[in-house]
């Protein structure tokens, strides 16, 4: 029986590839994105009985209207994948806190909004899956990404807490933690601190190293295969990774003392002072 799967941020990158793969398996996709052009292109490509809506995740009434349209059309939702997110880069001392607030609003409250919207119907059916895209930095903080790291730590905390609340109703909770994926995600946010900044030189080395790592990172298609596997598993794993390096770093993070972890990260990202 085809599953009804909600995907936020489905018009580009990993979200689009996940939508393609699930649709190819016969599942029905209900998704939204603020990029109307890419969303229309995906709608034309997939055809079928899917539902796509142009929508900004910060539009609370819009999210509720989307939920109502999905439930009216299909009667149920089996899985919600929260995939909307934006990056944020810069030394914390120099961060524009209004921009930081927008990042937290989209990455954290956006995920909360879509899960909260569909939770009642899942609870009534006593089944469903809530899956959030987090990141390696949701467990391992990276320098110059303090705000983005904070947003992903918050996602991890949200999902870990939520699990206790909803598992008695048959609802499964999962977190997906990619490190890097070969997209334009990082390039959009990488901006050197201004001339004269005490952080400029190390931030420059961080960006250069990150650019190198992205070239060998999994593609959106490769990452999507792992995400689809997590979504379609009969029992959702609490945490899933999409690449080998994430698993390595998270394993080291669990067992090594802090000094050793810090040394590995600083050398790996070429930011030794």
> What's the whole-model pTM score?
0.94
Q: Which of 129, 109, 107 is nearest to 118 (CA)?
A: 129
pLDDT value of residue 185: 58
Sequence-ordered list of residues with C-beta below 8 angstroms from that of 164, at least 6 positions apart, any chain: none
Q: Extract the tokens encoding 230.
A: 């997590």
Q: Which residue has the higher pLDDT, 213 or 146?
A: 146
Sequence-ordered list of residues with C-beta below 8 angstroms from that of 225, at least 6 positions apart, any chain: 21
Q: How big is the CA angle at 172 (ends 168 and 176), to the nearest 5 degrees? A: 145
- Mean pLDDT, range 178-203, rounded to an integer: 81
Q: Which residues pair with 30 in a beta bridge?
A: 6, 51
Q: Which residues pair with 128 in a beta bridge?
A: 171
Question: 24-28, 150-154, 215-219: which range is least confident on average?
Answer: 215-219
Question: 47-61, 91-105, 171-185, 209-223: which range is least confident on average?
Answer: 171-185
Asked whether 80 and 131 are in contact (CB, 8 A), the reply is yes
DSSP string, 146-162: HHHHHHHHHHHHHHHHH
Does the pLDDT at position 184 exceed 80? no
- Mean pLDDT, range 229-253, rounded to an integer: 89
pLDDT tens digits, 76-116: 999 999 999 999 999 999 999 999 999 999 999 999 999 99
């Amino acid at each position: 029986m085809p599953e009804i799967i909600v995907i936020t941020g489905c018009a580009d990158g990993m979200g689009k590839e996940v939508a393609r793969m699930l649709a190819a398996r016969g599942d029905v996709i209900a998704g939204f994105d603020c990029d109307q052009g890419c969303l229309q292109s995906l709608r034309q490509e997939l055809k079928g009985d899917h539902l796509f809506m142009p929508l900004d995740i910060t539009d609370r009434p819009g999210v509720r209207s989307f939920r109502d349209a999905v439930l009216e059309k299909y009667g149920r939702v089996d899985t919600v994948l929260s995939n909307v997110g934006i990056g944020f880069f810069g030394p914390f001392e120099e961060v524009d806190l209004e921009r930081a607030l927008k990042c937290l609003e989209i990455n954290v409250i956006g995920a909360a909004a879509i899960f909260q919207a569909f939770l009642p119907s899942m609870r009534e059916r006593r089944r469903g899956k809530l899956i959030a895209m987090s990141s390696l930095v949701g467990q391992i903080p990276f320098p110059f990404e303090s705000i983005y790291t904070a947003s992903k730590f918050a996602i991890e905390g949200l999902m870990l807490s939520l699990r206790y609340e909803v598992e008695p109703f048959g609802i499964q909770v999962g977190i997906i933690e990619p490190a890097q994926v070969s997209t334009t995600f990082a390039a959009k946010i990488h901006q050197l601190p201004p001339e004269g900044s005490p952080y400029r030189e190390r931030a420059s080395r961080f960006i250069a190293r990150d650019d190198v790592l992205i070239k060998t990172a999994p593609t959106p298609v490769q990452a999507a295969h792992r995400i689809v596997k997590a979504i379609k598993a009969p029992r959702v794993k609490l945490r899933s990774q999409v690449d080998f390096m994430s698993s390595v770093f998270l394993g080291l993070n669990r067992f090594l003392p802090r000094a050793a972890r810090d040394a590995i990260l600083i050398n790996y990202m070429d930011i030794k002072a």
